[in-house]
C-alpha cells in the first residue's frame, strides 16, 4: 500500500526543501524527458564524454522501471536528435551502439515488467546494427500491455512537422480528401500517432542539466504540457528527482487556455 504523501528532504541534492509527492495523486499519463547533461557529468569527473552516455543509458533502466510502477502510461525519452549527427564521429558511433547494448540486456526485464518498446524518428537513416536492435526490441515486446517506453531516436520536431505537411499535401494531390485539416487530423500524421489519441501529447516535460529550452523536441505535442527544469545532470537524475518533478506537476492547475471556476474542473 502506497502512503498518501511521501515527504523527502533532499539535503543530498544540495536543496534544503521538502517536497510533497503523492503516489495516489495525479500521475501524468505521458512523461517526456530531454535527457541532457551526460557529457558534462563525465567531464566533471575527468572522464570521456562517452562514459556519461553509458551511465545515462544505465539510468534509463531505473527511471523506466519506476515510472512503470507509478502507473505512467507513456515515457518518451529524447535519445538522439537529428542535430546530434554534428557531434564528433567517435561519440556518434558510440551513441549508435548504445541501443544495441541496452536492448540486449534490458529487453528481458522490460518483458517481465510488461513494458512495450516504441521508437519514433527517422530510423531509416540509422546504422543497420542500430536499426536491427530497435526492430528486435519492438518485436519482442509487442504483446506487452503496460507502459510504453517510447524512444525518440534520430528525431527532430521541425522535420517531423514538415514530413506531416508533405504527407498531407500528397494526400490532397491524390484526391484522397478535400476537407479542412483540423488539429486532430494533423496529429494523426505525426510520429506520436502510434501512441493513441489520448497519449500523443505529454502531460509533463522534464529537462535535466539546467538548460531551459525545448531543443526541437515535440514542438506540436507540448503545446499544453507542464514544463519542469532541473539542474541535475541526467546520469544523476534519481527516483527522488522523478518524484520531485511529478510532485511539482501535482501542485499545478492545468487550464488548457480556460479559467478555473470554483466547483468545476479545470479546462
Q: How far is it, in rounded angstroms, from Cα 167 to Cα 191? A: 12
User: Other CB atoms closer than 10 Å to residue 16's CB: what's the count?
Assistant: 8
- Intra-chain end-to-end CA distance of the chain, in Å: 32
Handedness of CA 203, 161, 56, 199 (dihedral sign): positive
Radius of gyration of the chain (CA): 19
Handedness of CA 225, 228, 229, 232 (dihedral sign): negative
Residue of 3, 26, 36, 166 with catalytic role: 36
Residue of 20, 84, 136, 144 with catalytic role: 84
Q: In what order do the strands lie in the sheet with 74-81?
A: 116-120, 148-155, 74-81, 30-34, 204-207, 226-229
150 is known as an active-site residue? no
167 is known as an active-site residue? no
SS3 6: strand
Catalytic positions are 36, 84
Amino acid at each position: 500500500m502506497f502512503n498518501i504523501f511521501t515527504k523527502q528532504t533532499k539535503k543530498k541534492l544540495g536543496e534544503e526543501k521538502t517536497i510533497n509527492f503523492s503516489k495516489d495523486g495525479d500521475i501524468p499519463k505521458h512523461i517526456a524527458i530531454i535527457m541532457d547533461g551526460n557529457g558534462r557529468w563525465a567531464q566533471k569527473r575527468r572522464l570521456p564524454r562517452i562514459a556519461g552516455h553509458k551511465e545515462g543509458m544505465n539510468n534509463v533502466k531505473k527511471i523506466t522501471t519506476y515510472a512503470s510502477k507509478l502507473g505512467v502510461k507513456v515515457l518518451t525519452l529524447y535519445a538522439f536528435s537529428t542535430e546530434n549527427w554534428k557531434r564528433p564521429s567517435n561519440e556518434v558511433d558510440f551513441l549508435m551502439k548504445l541501443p544495441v547494448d541496452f536492448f540486449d540486456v534490458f529487453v528481458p526485464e522490460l518483458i517481465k515488467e510488461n513494458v512495450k518498446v516504441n521508437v519514433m524518428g527517422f530510423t531509416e537513416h540509422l546504422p543497420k546494427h542500430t536499426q536491427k536492435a530497435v526492430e528486435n526490441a519492438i518485436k519482442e515486446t509487442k504483446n506487452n500491455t503496460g507502459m510504453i517506453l517510447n524512444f525518440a531516436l534520430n528525431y527532430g520536431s521541425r522535420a517531423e512537422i514538415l514530413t506531416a505537411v508533405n504527407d498531407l499535401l500528397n494526400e490532397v494531390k491524390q484526391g484522397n480528401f478535400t476537407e479542412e485539416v483540423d488539429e486532430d487530423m494533423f496529429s494523426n500524421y505525426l510520429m506520436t500517432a502510434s501512441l493513441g489519441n489520448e497519449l500523443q501529447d505529454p502531460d509533463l516535460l522534464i529537462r535535466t542539466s539546467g538548460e531551459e529550452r525545448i531543443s526541437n523536441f515535440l514542438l506540436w505535442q507540448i503545446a499544453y504540457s507542464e514544463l519542469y527544469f532541473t539542474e541535475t545532470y541526467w546520469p544523476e537524475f534519481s527516483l527522488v528527482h522523478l518524484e520531485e518533478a511529478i510532485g511539482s506537476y501535482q501542485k499545478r492547475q492545468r487550464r488548457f487556455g480556460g479559467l478555473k471556476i470554483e466547483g468545476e474542473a479545470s479546462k
